[in-house]
């Protein structure tokens, strides 16, 4: 069976150039205490001047953009195909009137990168989510004309108010109609205050180990509570990092819904799909979870046939999946 890597991020040179023009998060810069290392500052709060440069962002090396290195890695580890995607923070930060053009340029660039390695590289497209819904829908439709696109990557902010925002319905409808997969990936984590006053001493451990998984879990739960999965029952969503904490907390979420008096009184508790049904019907999980315990929870929640295996390499996260995702 061919091995397909479905969780591997790139920052195309045009995207890095865009980030270098910025002075606020996200941006690329050098620090006085690390003058020889350009660092990518992408997480909220990372630009705190009291934070040592070693925990502000991450160094940018060729592993971010040199596709030849990616192909060499694939060859070494016998990975047949990869589905590349722009890494966070995507285009969420752009003004509405710039986002559409930027998405088209980046998606065209990534499609051309894939064309340089036919049969080995495919991609998840990037959406201009800071633009209006009409612009986003047009790009969803246009992605269907690009040879190597197999879906879209999205963060959890949606149009700025989360994935339970009803203004996203035309976007969900367009993605569902196009039969594209949504790769849902965290970026914003949790408010830095929750990590306590000593958080700067702990590098990126708390936001990455805890903030990212909980962000994913909260986003998917909001989709569940707002009825997104009921209105769009054919959406296929790949959740990064084994769905955050969703497999572990699914039972607790379902129990809280069933026993919530407010949901009962406003009629949104009944006649809905359960979180278990959605996990086994609409959701795929990658295996970037780093333990057999977490892997077992992911298998139990969604089923082994919906788990896309993966491994971690340097600054890139890689997931290995099934050929069916490329058809």
- 327 residues of the chain, pLDDT tens digit each: 888 889 999 988 888 889 989 988 899 877 666 556 678 888 777 777 777 766 777 777 777 788 999 999 999 999 999 999 999 999 999 999 999 999 999 999 999 999 999 999 999 999 999 999 999 999 999 999 999 999 999 999 999 999 999 999 999 999 999 999 999 999 999 988 999 999 888 888 999 999 999 999 999 999 999 999 999 999 999 999 999 999 999 999 999 999 999 988 887 878 889 999 999 999 999 988 889 999 999 999 999 999 985 543 333 333 333 333 433
Q: CA distances (Å), 177 to each of 6, 121, 137, 224, in order? A: 22, 24, 11, 20
Give the contacts of 132 (CB within 8 A, at least 6 positions apart): 96
DSSP for 243-283, written as a single string: GTTHHHHHHHHHHHHHT-HHHHHTT-SSSS--HHHHHHHTE
Q: So what's the pLDDT on residue 34?
A: 59
| In 127-180, beta strands by DSSP E | 149-154
In this structure, what token pair is assigned to residue 319?
A: 């997931």
Q: So what's the pLDDT on residue 53?
A: 67
Annotate 22-43 with b (16+ C-beta within 10 A) or e (fewer): eeebbbbbebeeeeeebbbbbb
Taking alpha carbons only, the member of 160, 104, 163, 164 closest to residue 132 is 160
Q: CA distances (Å), 223 to each of 141, 214, 227, 238, 290, in order? A: 23, 14, 6, 14, 26
Q: Are 11 and 87 in contact (CB under 8 A)?
A: yes
Q: Are 211 and 190 in contact (CB under 8 A)?
A: yes
Q: So what's the pLDDT on residue 23?
A: 87
Q: So what's the pLDDT on residue 324?
A: 38
Given CATH 3.40.50.2300, say whether it is the number of domain 4-326: no
How many CA atoms lie less than 13 Å away from 238 in the CB half-sphere?
A: 30
User: How far apart (Å, rounded) are the C-alpha atoms in residues 244 and 211?
Assistant: 9
In this structure, what token pair is assigned to residue 238?
A: 């790949």
Q: Are 219 and 187 in contact (CB under 8 A)?
A: no
Q: So what's the pLDDT on residue 309?
A: 57
Question: Looking at the whole model, is its pTM more than 0.85?
Answer: yes
């Amino acid at each position: 069976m061919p091995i397909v890597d479905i969780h591997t991020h790139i920052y195309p040179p045009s995207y890095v150039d865009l980030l270098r023009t910025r002075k606020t998060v996200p941006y690329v810069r050098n620090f006085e205490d690390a003058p020889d290392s350009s660092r990518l500052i992408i997480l909220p709060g990372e630009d705190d001047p009291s934070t040592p440069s070693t925990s502000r962002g991450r160094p940018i090396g060729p592993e971010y953009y040199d596709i030849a290195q990616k192909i060499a890695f694939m060859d070494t580890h016998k990975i047949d195909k990869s589905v590349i995607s722009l890494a966070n923070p995507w285009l969420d930060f752009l003004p509405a009137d710039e986002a559409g053009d930027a998405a088209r340029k980046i998606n065209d660039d990534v499609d051309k990168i894939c064309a340089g390695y036919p049969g080995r590289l495919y991609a998840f497209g990037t959406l201009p989510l800071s633009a209006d819904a009409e612009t986003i829908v047009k790009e969803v439709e246009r992605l269907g004309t690009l040879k190597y696109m197999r879906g879209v990557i999205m963060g959890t902010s949606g149009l700025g108010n989360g994935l339970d925002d009803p203004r996203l319905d035309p976007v969900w409808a367009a993605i569902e109609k196009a039969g594209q997969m949504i790769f849902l990936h965290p970026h914003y984590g949790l408010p830095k205050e929750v990590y306590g006053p000593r958080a700067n001493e702990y590098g990126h451990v708390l936001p990455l180990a805890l903030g990212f998984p909980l962000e994913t879990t909260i986003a998917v739960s909001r989709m569940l509570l707002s009825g997104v999965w009921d209105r769009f029952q054919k959406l296929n969503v790949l959740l990064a990092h084994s769905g955050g904490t969703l497999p572990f907390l699914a039972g607790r979420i379902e129990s809280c819904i069933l026993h919530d008096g407010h949901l009962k009184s406003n009629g949104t508790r009944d006649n809905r799909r359960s979180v278990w049904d959605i996990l086994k019907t609409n959701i795929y999980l990658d295996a970037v979870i780093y333990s057999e315990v977490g892997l077992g929870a992911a298998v139990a929640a969604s089923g082994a046939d919906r788990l896309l295996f993966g491994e971690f390499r340097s600054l890139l996260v890689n997931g290995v999946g099934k050929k069916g995702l490329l058809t």
